[in-house]
Structure 1
Amino acid sequence: MTNIFSTKRGAKRRILTVAAGIAAVASLAVTGLAGASSASATQAKPAKPTVVIVHGAWTDASSFTDVEKILTKDGYPVLDFANPLRSLKGDSEYLASFLTTRTTGPVVLVGHSYGGAVISEAALSDPDVKSLVYVDAFVPAEGESLLDLLNSAGPVDPTQLFDTIPYPGAPEGDVDLYLKKDAFGPGFANGLSKAEQASYYAKQRPITFGAVNEKASATQSWKTLPSWYVAGTQDASIPLALQLKMADRAGSTVTEVKAGHLAMVKEPKKVAKVIETAATSK
């Protein structure tokens, strides 16, 4: 004979188990909704602009290592562009392709030395580029080359500055230019320790003579985009007066730092601060 009390106790246990399950599901649902709401709020927060760094001749992206560490710590995505240093037109077109394929959302372009000419040519190819930062950089106008700008500040004798090396597939008469050792320390890396000078000299990247002699096009982004300029007051590669002349012509906000041509190595905090100012500007 079935025990009615035992049956009732079993039914009660089943009801309590079902109730507990419903409560657990409800709790998960509430937690899930709260998490979704939180995630939505996180996603809604505007992302910081991506900082794209364009190095110049006779160096590479490693010269921005300390600047990048500061930017990354402060939450900025950073990408290094491997500047080919082959021709102003070709390098600028490659940067335009890089921006299209490797970045999303707002971008701050940072150019050092020759890299300044490259970002000036390429920036308008991507509507996401919001501002430009020049660091000891060339900012040519239409029809000007880097050599034109340097010669405007005083005659330049290439034979005293460069070792020339033929390269495969070069247009007739073109060569790669390496800075001579006697010119590198005092002219390019002044203000740095002997060990730093030796390191940067050993890994210098050459640029073609054709690139430094190539005229800038009419598409100069500094005419329409806001820009900032970091000027090394002890720069022995681009005289301070020439830097300030180009920055003034571009309408750039200028920050002077006590440094040579590699201001980002000597004063990374100040350079990073200028980049972040450009990134947060309206």
Structure 2
Amino acid sequence: MQKIIRALALVYACCVSDSATAQPADHQVKPTIVLVHGAFAESSSWNGVIAELERDGFRTIAAANPLRGVASDAAAVSALIGSIHGPVVLVGHSYGGPVITEAANGKGNVKALVYVAGFAPDKGESSLTLSGQFPGSTLGEALLTVTRPDGGQDLYIQPEKFHEQFAADVPAAQASLMAATQRPVADAALAEPSGAAAWRIIPSFSIYGSADRNIPPAVMKFMAERADSVKTIVVEGASHALMVSHPAEVTSLIEEAASAE
């Protein structure tokens, strides 16, 4: 009887061992997706993307970007990354691009950067200097400036111009809500030079619209090529708010970045 018990115990131990060995292959840890909005937007602009990512089993966090300055905003996002166990894919829209470019520095768990109609600056460049490298932006004509009590200036897009300027391919009623909930960016943030470019050491991906009126498509093409983007997608006719108007395409690229080796 004891021999039979020992034999059964050995078989059980082998089965458990085989199961434990096989489990990691069947249950690979998916990266956490950290989404960073840009100027004139806010975290809910990612809602369509979040719904698709979570449906596919990804944990997502839509970071609240302060929009005060590249270094300070990046520090806030970097602190968030530091609280996450396991791999991270950083996604930045518009001015969120410079923020993720700097926030990823020194974070070994960031496996990819995804630029969604976003700036991908090199060291010393700013959103303003990059947007002026090629013609096509009409943002300056659409801005509303509000002087803060500290003497600094906040920039908004004039509500009556928001739809055409920022989200031309979004339904008018939805664009009206986006205009009302837009977050202002400090003008100094757009002019602040960036630090070290994380895309030089971390794989990057890019997606943007051919009808973007905030950042000239030629600028985004230049930045993607310079960063040796793993994959670049141009969505024909898409506006600056393509994460709202084309969440499926944006989600697909994020998931590709998350699964890349």
Give the TM-score of the pair, scaled to structure 1.
0.81
Structure-2 residue corresponding to 1:227: 204
- In structure 1, C-alpha distance between the alignment counterparts of 2:104 and 2:41, rounded to whole Å: 22
Give the deviation of 1:197 after TM superposition: 1.0
CA contact (8 A) 2:137 2:214 kept: no
Q: 1:72 to 1:260 in 2, by over 3 A?
A: same
- In structure 1, C-alpha distance between the alignment counterparts of 2:20 and 2:178, rounded to whole Å: 45
Structure-1 residue corresponding to 2:110: 129
- In structure 1, C-alpha distance between the alignment counterparts of 2:233 and 2:136, rounded to whole Å: 27
Matched, 1:267 2:249: no
Give the deviation of 1:183 after TM superposition: 3.0
- Please give the residue correspondences for 1:187-202 in structure 2 after superposition, counting only pairs within 5 Å: 187-202=165-180
How many aligned residue pairs are there?
250
Gaps of 5+ in 1: 1-29
Matched, 1:163 2:144: yes
Give the deviation of 1:265 after TM superposition: 1.0
- In structure 1, C-alpha distance between the alignment counterparts of 2:135 and 2:176, rounded to whole Å: 28
Matched, 1:251 2:232: no
- In structure 2, C-alpha distance between the alignment counterparts of 1:89 and 1:274, rounded to whole Å: 27
Give the deviation of 1:154 after TM superposition: 3.5
CA contact (8 A) 2:170 2:245 kept: yes
CA contact (8 A) 1:52 1:109 kept: yes
Comparing 159-168 with 60-69, which one deviates more in the overlay?
A: 159-168
Identity among equivalent positions (%) equals 38
Structure-2 residue corresponding to 1:23: none
Matched, 1:76 2:58: yes
**Larger Cα-atom Rg:** 1
Structure-1 residue corresponding to 2:87: 106
Q: 1:38 to 1:174 in 2, by over 3 A?
A: same
Matched, 1:94 2:73: no
Give the deviation of 1:165 after TM superposition: 1.8
Matched, 1:186 2:192: no
Give the deviation of 1:42 after TM superposition: 4.8
Give the deviation of 1:163 after TM superposition: 1.7
Write out per-residue CA displacement over residues 133-160 of structure 1, whole angstroms, 9 at most, x where no aligned residue: 0000011111111111122223978763
Q: 1:84 to 1:241 in 2, by over 3 A?
A: same
Q: RMSD of the TM alignment (CA)?
A: 2.5
Comparing 111-120 with 230-239, which one deviates more in the overlay?
A: 230-239
Equivalent of 1:145 in 126, 132, 136: 126
- In structure 2, C-alpha distance between the alignment counterparts of 1:144 and 1:180, rounded to whole Å: 27
Structure-1 residue corresponding to 2:189: 211
Structure-1 residue corresponding to 2:31: 49
Gaps of 5+ in 2: 1-10
Q: 1:60 to 1:249 in 2, by over 3 A?
A: same
More helix per residue: 1 or 2? 1
The 3-state SS of whatever aligns with 2:104 is helix
The 3-state SS of whatever aligns with 1:247 is helix
- In structure 2, C-alpha distance between the alignment counterparts of 1:198 and 1:223, rounded to whole Å: 38
Q: 1:158 to 1:64 in 2, by over 3 A?
A: closer
CA contact (8 A) 2:137 2:215 kept: no
Structure-1 residue corresponding to 2:5: none
What is the identity, as a one-letter code, of the residue corresponding to 2:75? E
